[in-house]
Every structure is written in C-alpha cells, then in structure tokens.
Structure 1
Amino acid sequence: MFSLICKKPEDINKAFNAVDGELFRIIQSGKAGRLSITEVSTEDADEQDRSLAQNRLIYKIYQRIGRALYGGDELLARRECKLKCGCKILYRDRQEFAETFDLVIRPLPQETRLKAMDLIEVSSIMKVKQSTEYIKLMMQVYTEQGVYFMDLEGIEDYANYKEAQK
C-alpha cells in the first residue's frame, strides 16, 4: 500500500502516473487494488508519507520474522510487529491514535489485540521518520530473539533513507 499527497493541480498527473504503475503491478500479480482519496490537513500534507522503499523493506522484515520465529506465519509476524512496535510509535506521536487505542485496543486480551491489528492501519499511516524508527525498532526487538536481517535487500540503507533527511 502507498499513498500520495497532492497539494497543487500539477501534482495530479504525477499521482495518476504513480497509481497507474502500482495498480498495474498489483493486477499483474493476480490481485485487486483499492483506491481511496482522503482529505488531510496542510500540516499532514507537508510531512512525507513513508516511501515505497520503506514499505517494501517493512514487508520483507515481516516475512523474515514469520519464517524465523513462526513457521512461515507472516500474518502473525505482521500483527505482532504492528502491535509491539508500530502502535508504540503512533501512540506517542498522535493523540487521536492514543485515545482510540486506549478505548478500543488496550482493554482486549492479547490474542484479540493481535487479531485487531488486521483492522488498524499502522505502518501505512506513518511518515518517513516514523517508518524509519519502526524499521529500527522491529530489527532491535527481533534481533534480540535471534532473527537475522542484515542480508535483506535494502537493509543497508534503512537508517539513512534520503526521505528521512528532508
């Protein structure tokens, strides 16, 4: 999943071209794609959403954790990473997220919290710097559990995404 911000009319063509390429890739893989348009504040629009490179790396990390710890269960790895690492970052940075988390997720038993991660956007709403922190935190937490990440394609740049410097 990816998202684009359009703040001026000339951004629209760039967005359509990017969406066209991504939708083509998804459809070619035999899946369906979903498009949605959401109005955002100008403050949110000024912060960059996570990059496609970050998105790819996050999913490679989920896959690696799933294979290393959960017998190939990538879904469990994804849920756990979102709950343990991603929610922690968003809870700190977004008051609305924190309030919703406290009201809806925190009271649930752990197993139900994990399943609830299928319904909650976490990494897809992160900005570049948050995504960089998410990648670092996942690697730290799961390296301590014996998962090796340094051979993943794209990992060598994880801390220095050019987008994070903007």
Structure 2
Amino acid sequence: MTDKISVNCRSMLTEAITRMSKMFEDKHFVVVSLRPGKDRTLDQNRLWFAMYKRIAEMTQIGEPEDARRYCKLHFGVQILLNEDAGFQADWYQVMRPLTYERKLSLMGGCNLFGPDGMPVTSLFNRSQGIQYTDRIVSYFTGQGVYFSDLLSQEAA
C-alpha cells in the first residue's frame, strides 16, 4: 500500500498528515519520503488530456479516449521502441503480431492492463514526455488542430 500526495495547499497538508496518522495507527510502521517541488507528471497528464480532448473536437478521430489510444500507439510506443531495448524486445515478441485494431484497443482501458490500458506514457522520463507532446503537436497541427493556447497555459 503506497500513497503519493502532492501538497500544494493547507487542506492537502492536513490530508497528508491525517492519512499518515491513520496508516501509523493501522500498521505501526510508516516510511515517509519528502521532496520539495511540483509533481510534473500531474501537469503533463493534464496537458495531454486537454490535447486529446482538442484532437477529438477538431478531427474525426472520435472521443478523447480514442485520441489518447491513437497517440499512445503512434507516438508513445515509437518513442519507447527507439529508446528502450527492453521495451522493444517485449513489444516485438508480444505485441507486434497483433492486429492494428487489437494494439489500438489495448492502449485504452482493458481487462489485461486495467483502466489506463497498456503502460506507455507512464514509462516515460521527462525527455520522453516532452518528445511525446512535441510529436502530438507536430502531427495534429498538420491536421488543422491548434494547441497554442494549451501550450501557453503549460508554460505559465
């Protein structure tokens, strides 16, 4: 049982202390790690989901979840194939033989990988996350989708 809490206001600080106290009462041992800073993955995920929504609104791709699946398969998998030999070996052995439609479906919620689908973006480091964003922007800008407002909010 691992909990991760980003404390960015007094109420979250109170929640963190309350959860830690409850865990201590229940288990009598608690390991706590603290570090200053903002959790970049939350901001990055928020940006990506806004981008998926925009793609769904401005293209014929379908719903935001369809855009997410598409981006994970077309951009995220390619980044990991290029940069992670272990991912590449497993992908070629397990996923490559599957049909495109099956690969695409596994990128979203499914019984095998759970509600988030096959882990792709969750495996990214910071640099890979930036590449992913850049590839989405580059491809879908060519399809008439604009992201400048979302990206300027991210920079703020």
What is the TM-score with the length of structure 2 in the denominator? 0.66
Question: What are the within-5 Å matches in structure 2 for residues 70-149 of structure 1?
Answer: 70=60, 73-118=63-108, 119-149=117-147
Q: Is the 8 A contact 1:50 1:124 kept in 2?
A: no
Letter in 2 for 1:111: E
Q: CA deviation at 1:70?
A: 3.2
Map of 1:32 onto structure 2 = none
Structure having the higher Rg: 2
- Which has the higher relative contact order, 1 or 2, with Cα contacts under 8 A spaced 6 or more apart? 1
What is the total number of aligned residue pairs between the two structures?
A: 119
**Percent identity for Structure 1 against Structure 2:** 34
Give the direction of change, closer, same or farther, for the CA distance of 1:140–1:156 in structure 2 (3 Å limit).
same
Q: What residue in structure 1 maps to residue 19 of structure 2?
A: none
Q: Are 2:55 and 2:61, in contact at CA under 8 Å, matched by a contact in 1?
A: no
Which residue pairs with 1:5 in the alignment? Answer: none
How far off is 1:148 after superposition?
1.1
Aligned CA distance change for structure 1 residues 157 and 129 (closer, same or farther; 3 Å): farther
Query: Structure 2: 5+ residue runs without aligned partners?
Result: 16-38, 109-116
Q: Deviations over 1:123-146 (max 9, x none)?
A: 112111110110000000111111
Residue 39 of structure 1 is matched in structure 2 by: none
Structure 2 partner of 1:56: 46
Cα distance between partner residues in 1 of 2:73 and 2:130: 16
C-alpha root-mean-square deviation of aligned residues, in Å?
2.8
TM-score by length of 1: 0.62
- Structure 1 portions without partners, runs of 5+: 1-11, 25-48, 162-166
1:16 is displaced (CA, Å) by 4.7
Contact 1:50 1:127 in 2 (8 A): no
CA pair 105-81 structure 1, distance change in 2 beyond 3 A: same
- CA shift at 1:71, angstroms? 6.5
